Structure 1
Amino acid sequence: MSPRVPHPPRARHRRSRTALAFGLPLALAAAGALGYGFLGPGAQNRASAAPASAPAWATATADGFASVNALGQNGTYGGRGGSIVTVKTLADLEKYATADKPYVIVVAAAITMNPVGKEIKVASDKTIIGSGTSGQLVGGGFFLGQGVHNVIIRNLTIRDAYQGVWNDKEHDFDGIQMDGAHHVWIDHNDIRHMADGLIDSRKDTTYLTVSFNRLGQENKAFGIGWTENTTADITIHHNWIRETEQRNPSTDNVAHAHLYNNYLEDDPGTAITSSYGNYARGRTGMLLENSYFQGLTNPVIRDATATLVQRGNIFTGTTGTTGRNESGGTGAAWDPRSYYHYTLDKAADVPSVVKSGAGPRGSLGTTAATTAGTAATLTVAKDGSGQYTTVQAAVNAVPANNPSRVVIAVKPGTYRETVRIPANKPHVTLRGTGASRKDTVIVYGNASGTRKPDGSGTYGTGGSATVAVEADDFQARNLSITNDFDERAHQDIAQQAVALRTAADKVFLDGIIVSGDQDTLLLDTAAKERLGRVYLTDSYVTGNVDFVFGRATAVLDRSVITLKKRWDGSSAGYVTAPSTAAGRKGILIANSAVTGDVSDRSFYLGRPWHAGGDATLDPQTTVRNTTLSAAVRTAPWTDMSGFSWKDDRFAEYKNTGPGAGAASTDRPLLTDAQAARQEVADWLGDWTPTAS
């Protein structure tokens, strides 16, 4: 290993704001991204007229240690002074982020990283900012290498590189990783559900400020250090860290770690439990001020070699004397105000200040040019702060036969209602706006045998759905859809209880939870002769009997399929029940995990549903490249209603885990040649799901 080069003497004076003020107009270039989709060969970049002055978000500068003059850099101002470009494709984002000159890059769409886990190598002098709440990176993030400096990453949602393994040792898929960078400002982002860490600051990365971010749904939130040197200076303030287990953050050998006004929350309503909160490791010198810790087991811990000073923090619902809440050390005390100015909020106000202020802002990254051609947005909030208080009311407000996308943004809350998107309202996106997909829940409890209020009979299976999608080009993301029908209390009626029913083409389900018991997810088509494609990714589906079923051409990709016990505590069930028409593709489960707290060898992967006894159907389920728990039976397919699974299409390919098995007459495995014709792209055909 090469010897590390020590830092030069660090600056001790505050940055001069006036010295960094520019009044130069900035060119506004759309770079072929004013419309949707990829540029064709030879397409010309189009530039709109330069504004008289740049918007405030294009000239914003960092606070905290990122504002300090040092290492030849005067504070952090990103791409200010360079062109403002708006991007909607991965190719354009990478083109400008890696360029060798300054840019303010406005991300105005949800961009899917290809391959999954890709980290764009950002060059110096860049501002990368989401346009309102529409800028997203799905399945990857950013990498800032040695010497990269003067970078601002703001107002983005970076999410869903998760690969199904909680403490993932194989995939180093971070939201933002920095190795030896300096002068970086990470602000107002929502970073969640990645494969490794949400933010990693490594190899002496310094002069870093991380502010007003939402960090959640992760094993490792924010790791800092892993170096023998004690040189880094870092400010972390006003972040909401929730549903994370460790590194909240963990700071290793950080010379000056200033943490203030952060809100750390361990929500007892989730399956994720924090092992610790803020951690001063090695020879770190940490100052922890006016932060709010709620429900954490070990809210503040330090190594014996570290120095940790606490001032004004509030601890509620923590474990008291049994948990670790530490301070002390022999290092010299230090005052952040000798480096930069800052103002503390009262610790008691931190939950409300941070919850309302962290994450992407609709006011950042937007101008008339960046919003041109983007989707109309309707807001739903139970507390009356939106345009509508129910989801169905917002759907009703969508014009019939609307020609372009309408986003229904649903604020956190539990919405007990049924929702139907009729066939004459295409291009609708249902999107939860919370930090977690668990924050926004649409739930109801009808079952097939539930009687309708008007006395006209029962709902039937399809009619029991909490959310019913009958319109093409529908999307849903970052929310939960649940059917909470109580089987135990209603053993006298038909038990099928659908959470989500789709009967449309080009349905994109991205980062959601669908939960129920029997018949949870009905993937249907508008008619037997109609094509209905569904792509579900980075999601969770829970149930026990035939809980992924129907005649759609459907892909469940990079998702977790959770097996659930029956109402009486027994373990027995079936994952899929396809009713595929002959000549069509059925259900494909790929790159996923089948798991759950049920008995070993108690669940089948599927059985053939010949709906109505229709012998012309040719049901199909393929499960490939998926981790199978021991709950899966050694003979994973079975007959249904007198129809043999062996007469239909059921197969596996390269599955792993204790539930996987060798080829046999009871367990057909695809050959490599057969598998090459059963890829995700074969199911989707000419449709490429793109988040919008």
Structure 2
Amino acid sequence: MTETRNRPRHRRSRTALAVGVPLALTAAGTLAYGTDLGLFGADAQQKASAATAAAPAWATAAADGFASLNSRGQNGTYGGRDGQIVTVKTQADLEKYATAAEPYVIVVAGTINMNPVGKEIKVQSDKTIVGSGTSGHIVGGGFFLGSGVHNVIIRNLTIRDAYQGVWNDKDHDFDAVQMDGAHHVWIDHNDLRHMADGLIDVRKDSTNVTVSWNRLSNDNKAFGIGWTDNVVTDITIHHNWIRETEQRNPSTDNAAHAHLYNNFLEDVAGTDIKSSYGNYSRGKTKMVLENSYFQGINNPVIKDGTATLVQRGSVFSGTSGRNESGGTAFDPKAYYSYTLDAAANVPSLLKSGAGPRSSIGTTTAAAVGTKAATTLTVAKDGNGQYTSVQAAVNAVPANNASRVVIAVKPGTYREVVKVPANKPHVTIQGTGGSRKDTVIVYNNASGTPKPGGGTYGTGGSATVAVEADDFQARNLTINNDFDEKANQNLSGHQAVALRTAADKVFLDGVIVGGDQDTLLVDTASKDKLGRVYMKNSYVIGNVDFIFGRATAVIDRSVITLKKRWDGTSAGYVTAPSTAANRKGILIANSTVNGDVSDRSFFLGRNWHAGGDATLDPQTTVRNTTLSAAIKTTPWSDMGGFSWKDDRFAEYKNTGAGAGSASSDRPQLTDAQAGGQEVADWLGDWTPTAS
């Protein structure tokens, strides 16, 4: 941008958008992108790119919570989405694919009666096992995940009825899901009930586990964690309805980090099943318990003298006995982003939302209803159809009607890439195991001389320029490495890494890096809508490095602040130039941090491009962790216009850089925030991986 560059509006509440892949955030204190959040596993190549391009969203979904983090060589938990989608109706076929070495998305379409009763299929790594709507039932058995098994999703199934007639059964270890030494496991939207032993057992140093939106019922033991002297297990347990279970609700033994939130524990009056206890922090467990609802539970929250348990925000109705807490545990938001529902709403949320969903597992890739994507491969070593990204873009036919995936193999591609307006539905996708494996980079700046005369200008300096609607980028890095220090005599140091001037731009699992003016979210013209949705990504820069007039969402991402070329700390995160009656820039559920001085960065300033007084710049930052780098007065004027005459606000931010409401720090009310959610920004568009 060439310049040296509140009024929050009410709107009816709308349900927040839930899309694609939940975030795997680094710890709040992590700088830049030292811990990678790559979209694919290490074996994902162009075949996987083609396979996932037309896959339904449930086949490409990945975990949130501790299962989303990177450790033990595994980048998050996404199951078998790099493999084929197969449908099974027999035990033999289920076992064939679940025990295979290759990744698979396995759709269980019907009831499978396990033989012998109590059979636990030994699932191998890189699998998604998902029920087809509400029809996928496993009867009389379950699943076992052994030592080293990783990247497994068990979702949308009913697993039931291995009960052998003994309530506290010591002889039949028939669980719905048992893991011994597994890691990166997501158990989601299942109905687990009436088994011979426990419903879920997380044992023997299993870690990076998330258990979400399940119904657990009618069993003596719901959910046990531990069976080890080592304190290594990291587990997230949220939005589960645990009812009519006597014990282990859950019992958590020697867990390094156990985060329980928005669960509903219910002991129904007048039945034969009586709860002995609810949530139990045992051994050396560090537990954080938030916004759960306990109905009729005896001893709802208990802890050992050696354990720690921090609880806040829960509701206890008709409970009795022990309700304990004590010690210092940990801050879950230092590991990942999440949003709490009000505890009072939890029973109704889970009664309607927990368990198998009819919308999951019911559409195969072949029935998506759109033409299968064409895949073009790019490889620097010549082992592809093209050796440059631009050459592949050039090969896309003008006015193409269906998706074209440009699968870019690992390497550094030093080139300028432009996707023109007449080539919509293009995806540029890195095929490496990490988003850092595939890099598109160049070093033009605003003042860089053009070969034919003149200079590039800010917009023309972009390494990658997107002018085509329905564009997607994923699993790669886009950088502008213009060297300001070496070019002090050059006029115009703005250097854009990525410029978007289109509608429905989806940036998923990318790194966009530079210094000044890193990410330009523009529109095709002042009167046209341009929506951009970025998630699970990083943006790196120092001055106005997220800027423009588009309607843009940065969701569940990390914004990394960077020092200037001379080592000083000073800058602005956003510089919106929003048209009146349009949405501007929304930063939500994210983290803002960096290796810079405390109180040295503004969250934003108002860019009235060209001195246009009709503009109404907008930035909202909500539910985001702010480091101490953010100024206590986080907004600034620009070009002679007061930011207070435009739209700048925060809502429920946390961290050392957050602050309370004042005239210099507007905060949305709950009512206003209800109209400033991700879905409000995106309108009728639901970004979906393709």
TM range (shorter): 0.5 to 0.7
Residue number among 562, 574, 587 corresponding to 2:585 in the alignment: 587
Please report how far the alpha carbon of residue 379 of structure 1 lies from its aligned counterpart in structure 2 after TM superposition: 0.9
Residue number among 155, 164, 172 corresponding to 1:120 in the alignment: 155
Residue number among 481, 486, 493 corresponding to 1:484 in the alignment: 481
Residue number among 451, 456, 459 corresponding to 1:459 in the alignment: 456
> Does residue 148 in structure 1 map to residue 176 in structure 2?
yes
Write out per-residue CA displacement over residues 230-284 of structure 1, whole angstroms, 9 at most, x where no aligned residue: 9xxxxxxxxxxxxxxxxxxxxx9xxxxxxxxxxxxxxxxxxxxxxxxxxxxxxxx
Q: Indicate how the Cα distance of structure 1 residues 425 and 74 shifts in structure 2: closer, same or farther if over 3 A, else same.
A: same
Contact 1:413 1:439 in 2 (8 A): yes
Write out per-residue CA displacement over residues 520-549 of structure 1, whole angstroms, 9 at most, x where no aligned residue: 000000000000000111110000000000
> Does residue 470 in structure 1 map to residue 444 in structure 2?
no
Report the secondary structure of 1:661's partner residue. coil
Distance in 1 separating the partners of 2:365 and 2:531:
35
Does 1 or 2 have the higher relative contact order (CA < 8 Å, sep 6+)?
A: 2
Distance in 2 separating the partners of 1:571 and 1:75:
56
Aligned to 1:62: 99
Distance in 2 separating the partners of 1:552 and 1:99:
48
Structure 1 counterpart of 2:536, one-letter code: D
Structure 2 counterpart of 1:147, one-letter code: D
Report the secondary structure of 1:461's partner residue. helix
Aligned to 1:385: 383
Write out per-residue CA displacement over residues 194-234 of structure 1, whole angstroms, 9 at most, x where no aligned residue: xxxxxx9833699xxxxxxxxxxxxxxxxx9931599xxxx
Please report how far the alpha carbon of residue 72 of structure 1 lies from its aligned counterpart in structure 2 after TM superposition: 6.1
Aligned to 2:305: none
Contact 1:77 1:150 in 2 (8 A): no
Calculate the aligned-residue CA RMSD, in Å.
Answer: 4.3
Query: Any residues of structure 2 matched to 1:267-286 within 5 Å, and which?
Result: none
Contact 2:117 2:141 in 1 (8 A): no
Distance in 2 separating the partners of 1:77 and 1:571:
51
Q: Indicate how the Cα distance of structure 1 residues 659 and 63 shifts in structure 2: closer, same or farther if over 3 A, else same.
A: closer
Structure 1 counterpart of 2:604, one-letter code: G
Write out per-residue CA displacement over residues 374-397 of structure 1, whole angstroms, 9 at most, x where no aligned residue: 211111111111111111111111
Structure 2 counterpart of 1:513, one-letter code: I
Report the secondary structure of 2:636's partner residue. coil
Query: Any residues of structure 2 matched to 1:30-41 within 5 Å, and which?
Result: none
- Stretch deviating more after TM superposition (672-681 or 366-375): 366-375
Q: Indicate how the Cα distance of structure 1 residues 389 and 57 shifts in structure 2: closer, same or farther if over 3 A, else same.
A: farther
Please report how far the alpha carbon of residue 120 of structure 1 lies from its aligned counterpart in structure 2 after TM superposition: 2.4
> Does residue 429 in structure 1 map to residue 422 in structure 2?
no
Write out per-residue CA displacement over residues 133-162 of structure 1, whole angstroms, 9 at most, x where no aligned residue: xxxxxxxxxxxx9623799xxxxxxxxxxx
Report the secondary structure of 1:612's partner residue. helix
Residue number among 551, 555, 558 corresponding to 1:560 in the alignment: 558
> Does residue 202 in structure 1 map to residue 237 in structure 2?
no
Give the length in aligned residue pairs: 413
Distance in 2 separating the partners of 1:77 and 1:547:
45
Please report how far the alpha carbon of residue 663 of structure 1 lies from its aligned counterpart in structure 2 after TM superposition: 1.1
Please report how far the alpha carbon of residue 662 of structure 1 lies from its aligned counterpart in structure 2 after TM superposition: 1.1
> Does residue 607 in structure 1 map to residue 569 in structure 2?
no
Write out per-residue CA displacement over residues 403-457 of structure 1, whole angstroms, 9 at most, x where no aligned residue: 0111111111111111111000001111111111111111111100011123x21
Q: Indicate how the Cα distance of structure 1 residues 435 and 535 shifts in structure 2: closer, same or farther if over 3 A, else same.
A: same
Q: Indicate how the Cα distance of structure 1 residues 418 and 509 shifts in structure 2: closer, same or farther if over 3 A, else same.
A: same
Please report how far the alpha carbon of residue 70 of structure 1 lies from its aligned counterpart in structure 2 after TM superposition: 10
Distance in 2 separating the partners of 1:463 and 1:507:
19
Distance in 2 separating the partners of 1:688 and 1:563:
29
Distance in 1 separating the partners of 2:436 and 2:380:
16
Report the secondary structure of 1:394's partner residue. helix
Aligned to 2:227: 227
Distance in 1 separating the partners of 2:508 and 2:175:
36
Distance in 2 separating the partners of 1:97 and 1:437:
35
Q: Indicate how the Cα distance of structure 1 residues 226 and 452 shifts in structure 2: closer, same or farther if over 3 A, else same.
A: same
Aligned to 2:524: 526
Q: Indicate how the Cα distance of structure 1 residues 564 and 146 shifts in structure 2: closer, same or farther if over 3 A, else same.
A: farther
Structure 1 counterpart of 2:594, one-letter code: G
Contact 2:515 2:542 in 1 (8 A): yes
Distance in 2 separating the partners of 1:448 and 1:485:
10
Aligned to 2:344: none
Please report how far the alpha carbon of residue 666 of structure 1 lies from its aligned counterpart in structure 2 after TM superposition: 0.9
Distance in 1 separating the partners of 2:629 and 2:136:
46
Report the secondary structure of 1:434's partner residue. coil
Aligned to 2:667: 669
Query: Could you list the runs of 5+ residues in structure 2 that have no partner in the other structure?
Result: 1-52, 59-86, 102-114, 143-151, 161-172, 193-199, 207-223, 231-253, 255-363
Distance in 1 separating the partners of 2:574 and 2:410:
31
Residue number among 502, 512, 515 corresponding to 2:513 in the alignment: 515
Distance in 1 separating the partners of 2:93 and 2:157:
22
Contact 1:554 1:587 in 2 (8 A): yes
Aligned to 1:505: 503
Aligned to 2:615: 617
Distance in 1 separating the partners of 2:481 and 2:399:
32
Query: Any residues of structure 2 matched to 1:638-677 within 5 Å, and which?
Result: 638-677=636-675
Distance in 1 separating the partners of 2:541 and 2:54:
43
Q: Indicate how the Cα distance of structure 1 residues 672 and 508 shifts in structure 2: closer, same or farther if over 3 A, else same.
A: same
Report the secondary structure of 1:501's partner residue. strand
Write out per-residue CA displacement over residues 543-597 of structure 1, whole angstroms, 9 at most, x where no aligned residue: 0000000000001111110000000000000000000011101000011111001
Q: How high is the sequence identity, in percent, across the aligned residues?
A: 67
Report the secondary structure of 1:396's partner residue. helix
Structure 2 counterpart of 1:399, one-letter code: P
Aligned to 2:36: none
Please report how far the alpha carbon of residue 176 of structure 1 lies from its aligned counterpart in structure 2 after TM superposition: 6.5
Distance in 2 separating the partners of 1:367 and 1:58:
22
Distance in 1 separating the partners of 2:416 and 2:94:
40
Distance in 2 separating the partners of 1:74 and 1:639:
63
Report the secondary structure of 1:616's partner residue. coil
Distance in 1 separating the partners of 2:405 and 2:371:
13
Q: Indicate how the Cα distance of structure 1 residues 75 and 543 shifts in structure 2: closer, same or farther if over 3 A, else same.
A: closer
Distance in 2 separating the partners of 1:599 and 1:229:
42
Give the TM-score of the pair, scaled to structure 1.
0.53
Structure 1 counterpart of 2:155, one-letter code: I
Contact 2:153 2:186 in 1 (8 A): no
Distance in 2 separating the partners of 1:608 and 1:175:
42
Aligned to 1:596: 594
Query: Any residues of structure 2 matched to 1:107-186 within 5 Å, and which?
Result: 120=155, 122=157, 147-148=175-176, 174-175=185-186
Structure 1 counterpart of 2:175, one-letter code: G
Distance in 2 separating the partners of 1:588 and 1:406:
29
Please report how far the alpha carbon of residue 518 of structure 1 lies from its aligned counterpart in structure 2 after TM superposition: 0.1
Please report how far the alpha carbon of residue 642 of structure 1 lies from its aligned counterpart in structure 2 after TM superposition: 0.9
Structure 2 counterpart of 1:681, one-letter code: A
Contact 2:55 2:368 in 1 (8 A): no
Structure 2 counterpart of 1:619, one-letter code: P
Write out per-residue CA displacement over residues 61-85 of structure 1, whole angstroms, 9 at most, x where no aligned residue: 7379xxxx9996497599xxxxxxx
Q: Indicate how the Cα distance of structure 1 residues 533 and 605 shifts in structure 2: closer, same or farther if over 3 A, else same.
A: same
Distance in 2 separating the partners of 1:605 and 1:464:
24
Distance in 2 separating the partners of 1:367 and 1:547:
38
Contact 2:548 2:576 in 1 (8 A): yes
Q: Indicate how the Cα distance of structure 1 residues 631 and 229 shifts in structure 2: closer, same or farther if over 3 A, else same.
A: closer
Contact 1:627 1:656 in 2 (8 A): yes
Please report how far the alpha carbon of residue 647 of structure 1 lies from its aligned counterpart in structure 2 after TM superposition: 1.1
Q: Indicate how the Cα distance of structure 1 residues 56 and 395 shifts in structure 2: closer, same or farther if over 3 A, else same.
A: farther
